[in-house]
Structures are given as structure tokens and as C-alpha cells.
Amino acid sequence: MLISTTGLGFGMARMYRARPQQIAHLAQAIRLLRQDIEFGQIPLISAVQRVGDSLPSPVSQVFTEIVDRLSKRCTAEEAFHHAVRHVGESTAMNAADFEPLLAIGSVVGTSDRSHLSMEIDSALIRLQGREAEAIEAQRKNERLWQYLGILTGLLLILVMW
Amino acid sequence: MATHATNDAADHAVSLLQRLCPPSTFRLFEDVPLSVWKEAEEVRFRRDQPIQILTSNREYFLRSDGSLTSDWTTAMLLPQEQFARILQAVTQSSLYAVEEELRRGFITISGGHRVGVAGRAILNENGQVQTFRSIRSLALRIARERRGVANKLIPSLFQRGQAHSTLLLSPPQCGKTTLLRDLVRVCSYGARPTITPAKVTVIDERSELSGHWDDEVMFDLGPRTDVLAACPKAEGMMMAIRSLSPEIVVTDEIGRENDVDAILEAVNAGVLVFASAHAGSLEEWRRRPSMQRLFSNRAFTRYVLLSRRLGPCTVEAVYDETGQNVPK
């Protein structure tokens, strides 16, 4: 019992620890995408593929999924939404953390470079905010969940004793 | 669709549309007869307007059941959502990556097909077109390789195995690019003793001559041909002369002052030039001041006037450097 509640607590703590890191990876991905869009003018499918290849999992999986959908002739907007819907749940990030990426997805296929640049800048600023919020949540909750897991286990043992 | 597979030209057009259109739009094309696809030169997609198919001598509109009509009022209107999907297929969901091309008003897609665009032009601070937003029209010009189309011109354009510097003249859609492409192939392969094989450099600003797209060259231009794809004509010609030592340089649709300078530079360097220009006659072409300079300097020793009287690539006349008729 102690082991399972401790595991549960540590699992929750791990999610709090991973979230800021994954948001940072997502921001890095968007910066890489910007490089390929603004300077390389590389077609979206190749640009997203390159981003996916240079990032760690699970964030890379979002981009791999986008490539998969684009190659199946989905529009960019559909591909981004599908990827977030299907891979998002396996990350520590929440729906709001993916919103900046989805905002890019909704315009990337139909916008010129200057418009896209503004959208990417705005997405990065929003992600910065999300990352700060995730770090604060980690600071508040990571230890709490670790202790809570152990203490809940101990409490249950005492009650049952 | 089974009958379509028996015909290359029709197959070519159908597979192109399959690549660009969402399934719901492509389904409409499935009942279009083979004879129409064989002759189809353009397919025009306009947002909230009927889909138009143009052959060399007719126009058709598509009905919602896939049948063709010449009465546009009974045709199906292309919904915005389907138009957006076609646009994304044309740009590979990367409008930002084709801005340079959009500035010239068209996008070249895989296969060397040209897609003209119309929408709201966005200008830069110098008043030049930077890109297009709110694109509402796409004019898909189906590029076709017609091997042997230049053969009929060989007696007038070659003398003792050597080519003449040649300018092809015609209004739009008379087959200048198709003929130029075949001339490149003829010179590059050669056929001794009639045609001495030559090193050819193609300055393919619109990537239409070579069909150069994403690291692939779609059309066979022969074993002695180098292609400078998506390269401005004048700059490309100078680069080619400096670095590729061509015997012939080839470029499409000349018209600007710096094109004229580059052609004169090439001719003075002993390089032959094959080019094309828009004009309804030699006189019409000569009336442009910069073109008159090419004529008076005898940059070209042959002028070929094309029309579509008997279909694309109909040769109406061949002139020499003085504007006199050369027997065809």
C-alpha cells in the first residue's frame, strides 16, 4: 500500500517536473520552425520533419504526427489539431500549453512570412508565460505530491492497523 | 477511369488533378471524357465560381454530377473550403515558401506545371508586389512534353550542323515553351551530321522549361544540358557564360532591359541564344525599344512566329536576321 501511494505521489510529482521542460522543448521547436520558415523557406512538411528529428520525445512525437497527417493530404490546420489531440495526452503538458502551437497551425498553411512571423512571436511569448506558470506549479506541487504519496500510504496503514 | 489509363496525355492530366484536388472535388473530374483530358491545357479554379477546363479550342464548366457544360450558369460553384484545400496542395501548405514565386504571379509545381494566382496584392515599401493574400483564383496550366515538335524547324534553324540563334515569338499559349524545350533536347542530343551536339545551359527562371522542382528535373533535356533553375534570366546568362562555358544558352520569355544586355553579352561572347518572347508578329516585337536593340544588333539570326491556328506550336513563319522570310 505504501509503495503504491508513494508511486502515485511520485508519478504526479514527475508530471509537474516534466511540464516546464516539455514546454521549453515546444518553444525550442517553434524557434527551429521559425528558422526554417523565415530563412530557409523550407516547405512545411520538411521543416516539421526536421523539428521532430531534433527534439526529444514526447514533444518530437507531436511533430512526427503532424508530418504523418500532412503526408496524408490533410491541411496544415487539420494536421496540427490531429497531432495535439492524439499525442498531447501522452505529454505532461495541458491543453492550454498547446494553444500557441495550434495558433501557428491555423495560419501556417495560408499566411505569408511577415504574418507568420508575428504569429510565431506571439506564440513564443505565450509559451514563455506558460513555462513560468509551470515552473511555479512545479515549485509548489512537486515536493507536496511526493510527501502526500508517502504520508497517505502511512496514514492508510495506521488507520488499518 | 480505366480507359484513361490507356492514354498518356490524359493520364498525366488526371493524375495531376488527383494530386491537387481533395477527393470530393476530384470525383467530379472522373467522368470527364478522355478526349477532353487529351486536349486539356488549363484548369481554372475560382473560389465560389465554376471550375473551368480549357482545351486548345473549347471551354467547359463542370456540373455537380461531373458532366461538362458550356453554360456556366448550370455549373457547380467551387466551395471556399475545397478551394482552400487545392491552394494548400499547390503550395504544399507553405505559402511562405513560395513568396518569391508569388511575386511573379505564379507558382511552379512538381511536373513543371505552372499555377497562376490572383488575389489581393500586398506591396512593399517600394510599391512592388511582395506577395498575394486572399487568393481567389488558380489557373493551372498543364505542362506537356511533346518530343519531336521541333523537328519540322530543323532545316530552317540549323546550317551545316550548327544552330542559329533563335527567338520564338507568339501570343501566350501557342507552345513557345514546349518548342523551346524540344529544341534544347535536339541540340543536346545532336544528330550528326545535321545537328552537332552542343553544351546547352538553360536559364529556367520559372522552372517551366525543365520542370525543376524539389531537386528533380521532370523533363528530359538531353545529356549535355545544365539547368539554372529559378534563376533570374539576365543574371543566369552571365553566370552561365562565366562558369559553364555553354555553346547555347536558352531562356524563356525575355522582355526586360537587362535581358537584352545579357543576350547581347552572350552573343558577343560567341554563345548562341535560344529564347522566346510574347508578340503577335515580328513587327510588333520590334516596336518595343529594347527589343529593337536586339534586332538591330542582329542578336538573333532566326525568328520563328508561332500561333495556335492548327493547334499549339503551329509555325506561321520563319524569318532571318533582316526580317526576310526563310523557307520552312
**Is the CB of residue B95 less than 8 Å away from at least one CB of chain A?**
yes
For the four alpha carbons of B46, B49, B55 and B57, in that order, the dihedral sign comes to negative
Cβ A43–B97 below 8 Å, yes or no?
yes
Q: What is the DSSP letter of B190?
A: -
Q: Is residue B235 part of a domain?
A: yes
pLDDT in tens, B204-245: 988 888 887 767 778 889 999 999 988 899 999 999 999 999
Domain tally, chain B: 2
Assigned C-alpha cell, B212: 525543376
Cβ A43–B89 below 8 Å, yes or no?
no
Q: What is the DSSP letter of B197?
A: -
**Is the CB of residue A113 less than 8 Å away from at least one CB of chain B?**
yes
Q: Is residue B181 part of a domain?
A: yes
User: Do B25 and B82 belong together in one domain?
Assistant: yes
User: Do B282 and B311 belong together in one domain?
Assistant: yes
Tell me the three state secondary structure of residue B224.
Answer: coil
Q: Is residue B328 part of a domain?
A: no
CA atoms within 13 A on the CB side of A10: 8
Give the residue from B81, B85, B90, B93 with the most A CB atoms within 10 Å of its CB, the best one to mutate.
Answer: B93
User: Do B156 and B94 belong together in one domain?
Assistant: no
Q: Quick one: pLDDT at residue B13? A: 81
Cβ B96–A45 below 8 Å, yes or no?
no
**Is the CB of residue B96 less than 8 Å away from at least one CB of chain A?**
yes
Domain around B117: 2-141
- Higher pLDDT among residues A99 and A147, named by residue: A99
Closest chain A C-alpha to B215 CA, distance in angstroms: 13
- Does the pLDDT value for residue B160 go beyond 50? yes
Rg (CA), chain B: 21
Lowest-pLDDT choice from A47-56, A149-158, B64-73, B178-187: A149-158
Q: Is residue B47 part of a domain?
A: yes
The minimal CB distance from B95 to the residues A47, A73, A110 is found for A110
- Higher pLDDT among residues A17 and A130, named by residue: A130
- Beta strand extents in chain B (DSSP E only): 42-46, 52-54, 59-62, 68-69, 106-109, 113-123, 129-141, 158-159, 162-163, 166-170, 200-204, 212-213, 216-217, 225-229, 248-251, 272-278, 302-307, 314-320
Predicted-complex ipTM score: 0.78
Average pLDDT over residues B298-308: 94
Which stretches within A36-112 are classed as H helix?
A: 44-53, 59-71, 76-87, 95-108
Q: Quick one: pLDDT at residue B15? A: 84
C-beta separation of A19 from A137 below 8 A: yes
- Does the pLDDT value for residue A114 go beyond 90? no
Q: Quick one: pLDDT at residue A12? A: 77
Lowest-pLDDT choice from A22-31, A42-51, A52-61, A132-141: A132-141
- Does the pLDDT value for residue A10 go beyond 80? no
Q: Which residue among B141, B172, B194 closes a domain? A: B141
User: Do B182 and B315 belong together in one domain?
Assistant: yes
Q: Is residue B223 part of a domain?
A: yes
Average pLDDT over residues A53-62: 91
C-beta separation of B60 from B39 below 8 A: no
Q: Is residue B146 part of a domain?
A: no
Average pLDDT over residues B16-29: 89
Q: Which residue among B116, B141, B166 closes a domain? A: B141
The rounded percent of chain B whose pLDDT value lies above 70 is 96
Q: Model confidence at B6, in pLDDT bands (50, 70, 90)?
A: very low
Cβ A41–B122 below 8 Å, yes or no?
no
Q: Quick one: pLDDT at residue A64? A: 95
CA atoms within 13 A on the CB side of A54: 15
Q: What is the DSSP letter of B74?
A: G
User: Do B127 and B163 belong together in one domain?
Assistant: no
Q: Is residue B327 part of a domain?
A: no
Distances (CA, A) of A70 to A26, A30, A74, B26: 19, 17, 5, 18
Cβ B88–A109 below 8 Å, yes or no?
yes
Q: Model confidence at B9, in pLDDT bands (50, 70, 90)?
A: low
**Is the CB of residue A107 less than 8 Å away from at least one CB of chain B?**
no
User: Do B166 and B295 belong together in one domain?
Assistant: yes
User: Do B166 and B246 belong together in one domain?
Assistant: yes
- The residue count of chain A comes to 161
Residues of B in contact with A120 (CB under 8 A): none
Q: Model confidence at B1, in pLDDT bands (50, 70, 90)?
A: very low
User: Do B243 and B168 belong together in one domain?
Assistant: yes
Average pLDDT, chain B: 89
| DSSP secondary structure of A127-145 | HHHHHHHHHHHHHHHHHHH
The minimal CB distance from A75 to the residues B93, B96, B99 is found for B93
CA atoms within 13 A on the CB side of B90: 29
CATH number at residue B273: 3.40.50.300
User: Do B191 and B301 belong together in one domain?
Assistant: yes
**Residue B21's closest chain A neighbor by CA?**
A73
Which stretches within B92-153 are classed as H helix?
A: 99-103
- Does the pLDDT value for residue A98 go beyond 90? yes
Q: Quick one: pLDDT at residue A89? A: 86
* Angle between helices A113-160 and A95-108 in degrees, nearest 10: 160
Q: Which residue among B120, B141, B162 closes a domain? A: B141
Q: Is residue B326 part of a domain?
A: no
Assigned C-alpha cell, A23: 514546454
Q: Model confidence at A153, in pLDDT bands (50, 70, 90)?
A: confident
Assigned C-alpha cell, B322: 533582316
User: Do B76 and B172 belong together in one domain?
Assistant: no
User: Do B189 and B281 belong together in one domain?
Assistant: yes
Average pLDDT over residues B23-44: 88
Cβ A108–B96 below 8 Å, yes or no?
yes
User: Do B202 and B95 belong together in one domain?
Assistant: no
